[in-house]
Structure 1
Amino acid sequence: MIKWFAALIGFFIRGFVGAILGFFVGSLLDNLSGSGGSGSRTIFGDFGQQSVSPADFELNLLSLCSIVIKADGQVSQRELDYVRQYFLSTYGKEKANAIFRTFNEVVKKREVSPQRICNYLNQRTRYEVRLQLIHFLFGIAQSDGQVSKAEINKLRELAGYLRIGSYDFESIMAMFIKSADNAYKILEIEKTATDEEVKKAYRKMAKKYHPDRVNTQDEAIKRGAEEKFKEVQKAYEVIQKERGLT
């Protein structure tokens, strides 16, 4: 775990280059202490497609978090707290506090390459994980009360790099941004869809986001799946009421 903390500290002091240097220095210390193989599991770790260590994944995840936080040109304390809560639920209070002693500082201006990070994740995670990741990043953007246009544009860019389909992106976005056609967007259909098409879309989306499809003991992942499943149910209920469906 030393290499992980060192990488985080390096990232927020010197950006991505500092993270790499910190990771290597921490790895040396890990080897000396005999703890190099240990580490906590991430809330996304159960879905790994290829071998990837928690430290590698979390370093890239934290980089994406910082990109979203900086998207509107300001660093919101609520957004920082949202990310902090993720680490609290994943690592526990003691380790999370150690990480966020540096995270409370203003994120430095040095930029990281979102495309390179997303390419790395594309090679090591399944599509379902990347959907969950976009949902998580939307949660960060929305945590200060609203999702700005700049944040939407950045999230759309990241979704493109992560090879997320446009209908899936619009569906997730509709869970955070309300509009007149919100229910239809969540079910990934047009408002002109027939009643039978609405029912078919609901069955498809309910199956896609059903918590039982999330094969993990991690409570954070389960909650995320349950939230999306509930949004699908609410969307269908709105359309049912609007059309008088039974």
Structure 2
Amino acid sequence: MIKWVAAVLGYFLFRLPGAILGFIVGSFLDGLGGSRQGSTLFEDFTRQTVSPADFELNLLSLCSIVIKADGTVSQRELDYVRQYFISTYGKEKANAIFRTFNDVIKKREISAQRICSYLVQRTRYEVRLQLIHFLFGIAQADGQISKAEVNKLRELAGYLRVGQYDFESIMAMFIKSADNAYKILEIEKTATDEEVKKAYRRMAKKYHPDRVVTENEAIKKGAEEKFKEVQKAYDTIQKERGIS
């Protein structure tokens, strides 16, 4: 209960950044009182946790950072995020959330490094991979991903401690190139057939939806899409090389 009071107070004083800080502080105080029930959805390897509401609040902030990355606010990108909130919360609550989101986009600066650092301590690596996938989806919603958006996504990936090869693999699913299938499998075009098979098995295991422990629908969907892209990349190379 304390975390919600602190979040509301923080919002009125400092808008969304204040709400985030208030929620974090309030959650800590709730934890001291033994009232951290329901906060075990996103466990990392040290067993620290982040609640669904907390995760969504930080996701909201990261969405705004990506949308503003190229200096313009695309309506299609806004619609992409709105649709996510509608599918997750229902129309009425989503509209209320989106009013705050609109305010953040137009008026407020957010510390990406602080938010990502918070998530790194409380989420599994697989969840952060799918988070980058979801943010790429926002950038692509207006039909193209600008260089500024790629740079911002690369910066966020760095803060989230997502490896370079994993980032390039996800980017290849959105920005097509001649050796796209190889980038998705994180190998060079000169790889042997056996290396291709090993890469596929490794990537299929890494991005299997069962490894993404979350109840967040957008992250779940991202995991499924990424898994399909890995399979598609392998199929492409199989046909190209005649691998059985």
TM bucket normalised to smaller: 0.7 to 0.9
- Aligned partner letter, 1:126: R
Q: Which moved more, 1:223-232 or 1:101-110?
A: 101-110
Using the size of structure 1 for normalisation, the TM-score is 0.81
Taking structure 1 as reference, are residues 149 and 195 closer, same or farther at Cα in structure 2, changes over 3 Å only? same
| Aligned equivalent of 1:228, options 226, 229, 234 | 226
Equivalence map 1:172-187=2 (5 Å): 172-187=170-185
1:31 aligns to what? none
Matches within 5 A, 1:97-108: 97-104=95-102, 107-108=105-106
Residues 73-101 of structure 1: per-residue CA shift (max 9 Å, x gap): 01111111111122122222221122123
Provide the rounded CA distance (Å) in 1 between the counterparts of 2:243 and 2:6: 53
Are the counterparts in 2 of residues 15 and 111 from structure 1 also a CA contact under 8 Å?
no
Q: Which moved more, 1:186-195 or 1:201-210?
A: 201-210
User: 2:82 & 2:109 partners in 1: Cα distance?
Assistant: 21
Count of paired positions: 231
Residue aligning to 2:82: 84
Residue pair 1:5, 1:99 contacting (<8 A) in 2 also: no
1:220 deviation in Å? 4.0
2:41 alignment counterpart: 46
Q: 1:162 pairs with 127, 149, 160, which one?
A: 160
Q: Which moved more, 1:142-151 or 1:91-100?
A: 91-100
For residue 110 of structure 2, the aligned residue among 109, 112, 115 is: 112
Q: Deviations over 1:17-61 (max 9, x none)?
A: 4x358869xx8xxxxxxxx9899x9xxx73333232333322222
Tell me which residue corresponds to 1:194: 192
Task: Calculate the aligned-residue CA RMSD, in Å.
Answer: 3.0
C-alpha deviation, 1:217, in angstroms: 6.0
Equivalent in the alignment of 2:91 = 93
| Correspondences of 1:202-221 after superposition (within 5 Å) | 202-215=200-213, 219-221=217-219
**CA drift at 1:241:** 1.5
Residue type at the aligned position of 1:80: L
> Unaligned regions of 5+ residues in structure 1, if any?
28-35
| Structure 2: 5+ residue stretches without partners | 27-34
SS at match of 1:108: helix
Query: By how many angstroms is 1:178 displaced?
Result: 0.5
Which residue identity is paired with 2:237?
I
TM-score calculated relative to the size of structure 2: 0.82
